[in-house]
Amino acid sequence: MKVFYSDTFELPLPASHRFPMAKYRLLRERIVGAAIADIDLQIPDAARDDQLLLAHAPDYVSRVTAGELSALEVRRIGFPWSPQMVERSRRSVGASIAAGLAALDEGVAVNLAGGTHHAMPDSGQGYCVFNDAAVAARVLQGANRARNVLFIDLDVHQGNGTATAAAGDKTLFAFSIHCEKNFPFRKTPGDLDIALPERTGDDVYLKSLESSLELIRWRFRADAAFYLAGADPFAGDRLGRLSLSKDGLRERDRMVLEFCRCESIPCAVAMSGGYAPNVDDIVDIHFATVLTAVEFQLKSATTGVVESTR
């Protein structure tokens, strides 16, 4: 299974910054240390301007690149601007593009970063500069590799940027399960939003996911999916407010990938958010997601990958 990483393109942050940037490097090191024969680690190309412009406004892309964002725009993104920030953001998008293309060929592929679902066409916010899934979906469509693309967003925060990208477009379907009383406080409605109360645990969450996937089965026929596998619904997450266990999150991953396998939908997985005080908890959750993806990629290889033309 192809796994794309971009942590070697460092984004310099102040020591006091609360974003756990080390999780990406630690996740890759965990994978390398496990010596999993079925994983092919690769560095992605950076997303080009013409690719970013499929989902972002030209003025925004140029101002991000040139470092011409206003102080307010930088504050809303949450990362200080630097050339390294721009490069890292482009690589993260490039990883989702590469994972999307690889999934079409092999069934499942993974971006060890990504999930930047708060980025709007003309602005960034919530640690999201460019919207990797939205850009990658447009790249797949532009290459005639997929017509209908499904976003399965299971980060604890609603993907307002992805919902905006999908609004009014019948070829995109934005599905999100998130904590109702959490960022962003002004939600952008997607095609299917499940807003759960604080402290929701495994049972209610997984039942909500099961019924939602069944509904999507009848409402949308996808040629490809981008799965945002956030670690932040975890009970110990600082910014999450839900109460899922690690076992519950593993079952969540299994349910999503089983749905995609049964529906013959190639699936690109992105890690998305995670803010537990102990970074090892974040890495545990993301590593389990990668292992589940490997399991389902092997199933796809055994049964054969059918690139949908629905």
DSSP state of 19: S
Cβ within 8 Å of residue 297, ≥6 positions away: 1, 38, 106, 107, 108, 109
Q: What is the pLDDT of residue 297?
A: 87
Count of C-beta atoms within a 10 Å radius of residue 158? 29
pLDDT tens, 80-113?
Answer: 999 999 999 999 999 999 999 999 999 999 999 9
Three-class SS of 139-206: HHHHCCCCCCEEEEECCCCCCHHHHHHHCCCCCEEEEEEEECCCCCCCCCCCCEEEEECCCCCHHHHH
- How many degrees, rounded to 5, is the angle at CA 199 between CA 129 and CA 30? 55
At 209, list the tokens. 């996911």
175 contacts 208 by C-beta, under 8 angstroms = no
Residue 182: the pLDDT is: 96
- Rounded to 5 degrees, φ, ψ at 7 are -70, -20
172-179 sheet: strands from edge to edge: 40-42, 2-4, 108-111, 267-270, 224-228, 149-153, 172-179, 192-196
Distance separating alpha carbons of residues 117 and 150, to the nearest angstrom = 14
pLDDT of residue 284: 98
Buried b (16+ CB within 10 A) or exposed e, 99-120: bbbbbbebbbbbbbbbbbbbbb
- Amino acid, single-letter form, for residue 217: R
Please name which of 97, 84, 107, 89 lies closest in space to residue 42, comparing C-alpha atoms. Answer: 97
pLDDT of residue 300: 74
What pLDDT score was predicted for residue 235?
A: 98
Q: pLDDT (tens digit, 0 to 9) for every residue of the chain, 310 residues total?
A: 999 999 999 899 998 899 999 999 999 999 999 999 899 999 999 999 999 999 999 999 999 999 999 999 999 999 999 999 999 999 999 999 999 999 999 999 999 999 999 999 999 999 999 999 999 999 999 999 999 999 999 999 999 999 999 999 999 999 999 999 999 989 999 999 999 999 999 999 999 999 999 999 999 999 999 999 999 999 989 999 999 999 999 999 999 999 999 999 999 999 999 999 999 999 999 999 999 999 998 887 666 544 443 3
What pLDDT does residue 309 have? 36
CB 235 within 8 A of CB 284: no
Determine the pLDDT at residue 298.
83
Rounded-to-integer distance, Cα 220 and Cα 24, Å: 33
pLDDT value of residue 265: 97
Distance CA 60, CA 57 (A): 5
